[in-house]
């Protein structure tokens, strides 16, 4: 993605551990009403996002685990056609 755009919209902090974590805190008050933090857990070589944690203002957390990741896979154009 566009790092400058991310930095305009989020305060970003980073932990250089294993796994590494990028923590994004929205700057916009409207976004903060629905989402207080996004945490990206990054592992592997080359680094890839493994887990996405989104924290809501009431403390609820949505966790997305990325599994069976593959890179450089050709996806045919017809896969994006609407039925």
Residue 72 has pLDDT above 70, yes or no: yes
Tens of pLDDT, residues 5-47: 889 999 999 998 889 999 999 999 999 999 999 999 999 888 8
Residue 70 has pLDDT above 90, yes or no: no
Answering whether pTM is above 0.75, one says: yes
3-state secondary structure (DSSP) of residue 57: coil
Residue 23 is predicted with a pLDDT of 96
> Distances in Å between the alpha carbon of 42 and those of 7, 15, 29, 49, 80?
18, 10, 27, 4, 28
Q: Count, in order, helices (H) and strands (E) of the chain.
A: 2, 5
Residue 13 is predicted with a pLDDT of 95
Residue 1 is predicted with a pLDDT of 66
3-state secondary structure (DSSP) of residue 20: strand
Q: Please, which residues have CB within 8 angstroms of residue 48's CB and are 6 or more apart in sequence?
A: 42, 66, 69, 71
């Amino acid at each position: 993605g566009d790092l400058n755009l991310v930095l305009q919209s989020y305060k970003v902090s980073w932990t250089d551990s294993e796994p590494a974590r990028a923590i994004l805190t929205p700057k916009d008050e409207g976004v903060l009403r629905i989402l207080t933090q996004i945490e990206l857990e990054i592992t592997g070589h080359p680094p890839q996002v493994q887990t996405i944690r989104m924290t809501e203002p009431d403390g609820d957390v949505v966790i997305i685990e990325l599994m069976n990741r593959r890179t450089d896979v050709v996806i045919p154009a017809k896969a994006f056609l609407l039925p």
